[in-house]
Amino acid sequence: MAETARQELIYSLGADAIFESGLLAVPENYARWNITPNGLLITFGEYQVTAYANGAPQVLIPYSVLEPYIDPDGPLAFYLTDS
């Protein structure tokens, strides 16, 4: 998930605009999230992953990326493509 978020932010903001420490795979960096019909929406704090001028960036991690970690009998199984 951390690498997917990093790639998405580099694509949208550019590699020079990213603060790598805010993307490390530690729980506190991914504490703000929401379940959406299209995937897990991660919201980063201002200054966490980029300059304040870029606001609080968001990254959508598609369920296809998360599928290996989703319980096929759990509530998120509804969103899997082969369900």
Digit-coded pLDDT (tens) for 19-44: 999 999 999 999 999 999 999 999 99
pLDDT on residue 1:
87
* Averaged confidence pLDDT in the chain: 92
58-62 β-sheet, strand order: 33-36, 39-43, 58-62
Q: Tokens 């903001």 — which residue? A: 13
Task: Tell whether the model's pLDDT for residue 83 goes beyond 50.
Answer: no
CB-based burial label for 76 (10 Å; 0-12, 13-18, 19+)? middle
Nearest to 40 by CA among 58, 28, 14: 58
Q: What is the pTM of this model?
A: 0.86
